[in-house]
Copies of this chain bind each other. A is one copy, B any other.
Amino acid sequence: MQLGMIGLGRMGANIVRRIVRDGHTAVGYERHPGPIADLEAEMPGQFRGTTDLADFVGMLEVPRVVWVMIPAGATGAVIDELTPLLEPGDIIIDGGNSRYHEDIKRAKALEPTGIHYLDIGTSGGVFGLQRGFCLMIGGNREDVDYLAPLLSSIAPGYESGVRTPGRTGEPTEFEQGYLLCGPHGAGHFVKMVHNGIEYGAMGAYAEGLNILAHADAGREYVDGEHSAEETPMENPEYYMYDLDIPAITEVWRRGSVVASWLLDLTAAALVADPNLDSYSGRVSDSGEGRWTIEAAIDVGVPVPVLSAALYERFSSRGQALYADKMLSAMRKAFGGHNELPQK
């Protein structure tokens, strides 16, 4: 089967590699010729690319399957440019990180054209090539059925995990790593919440490890000087530990309840940089974490863990500064307290 890929960044290229590996072919579009040449050299006869969108469309077998894998901000414009070049029965896939609202609108707008549309939330990060991509799909059943050969090449496959106890019979699609979640937008909706959960789980590890990193606070307290503005430490003797956090993340990978792929990656990051010296602690966030909270609020569901995780990222970038100054100003106003000096 043939796949057209718009955007040959890491994610797009790795999806191409996975399907080509299974005997499929791919056509790529990218504004810059560099990645095209590289991929053509890497997969001779199975991949061809172009920097011209009309050429790209022309190189595709009908019905065309076009997977758009570019930053969310650019997706709309490219699909607008692409649409008039396509025919009824062709399929557009948005595999990027669009907000699912866009999918609902786009699918509706495409309906009169006869062009099919799927949103596919795609998780896997830099490891997708080897592990496969987890695919969360919004759209119609017939399109998923039609694309099954490609989807099963991109997804990790049934053998990638131990079967869940209680499941029997033929492996389902979702046990292979792709799932038609529902109608248009459902794929990006589920992917959005997936990322929200990811934020929360990351926050849980980061906070716990931060406690471990401060397990020597009692020694620091006993050795340090203290302002009367500072809370005295009642039991410094309980915080006299120098813990080896890389080793702890490693031991937790074996047999503990918090074993996870995120923990595997954390352990790996700590091998590379045991004290995290290469990081400044300014943590970015992408749209999904924010949209998850907004969705929760829209449906009236409490998400304190997920929100706390998002806010931790905002704070890490200095976004609480005005609030903090205000707190200091209030403390001074009612208690005459001066701020602690900068350390």
Contact = CB atoms under 8 A, between A and B. Distances in A.
Interface string A316-329: 11111111111111
A207 interface: yes
Copy count, this protein chain: 4
Nearest to A179: B251
Contacts of A339: 279-280, 282-284
Interface stretch (A48-56, A86-94, A110-118, A191-199): A191-199
Given A214-B299, A287-B231, A206 B279 contact: no
Contact of A134 (B252, B293, B301, B334): B252
A31 interface: no
Interface stretch (A35-43, A141-149, A169-177): A169-177
Contacts of A264: 161-162, 164
A252 B194 contact: yes
B317 A311 contact: no
Interface residues of A, number: 173
Nearest to A208: B197
B243 A182 contact: yes
Given A214-B299, A299-B217, A204 B305 contact: yes
* Main SS class of interface, A: helix
Nearest to A303: B207
A133 interface: yes
A259 B257 contact: no
A298 B248 contact: no
Given A160-B255, A195-B257, 8 more contacts: A134-B252, A165-B268, A166-B272, A177-B251, A204-B309, A208-B303, A302-B312, A316-B324
23 contacts: A123-B258, A125-B257, A157-B254, A161-B264, A165-B268, A174-B247, A175-B250, A183-B240, A196-B204, A203-B323, A204-B309, A207-B301, A210-B296, A214-B299, A235-B298, A266-B329, A276-B328, A279-B332, A284-B337, A301-B320, A305-B305, A305-B312, A312-B324
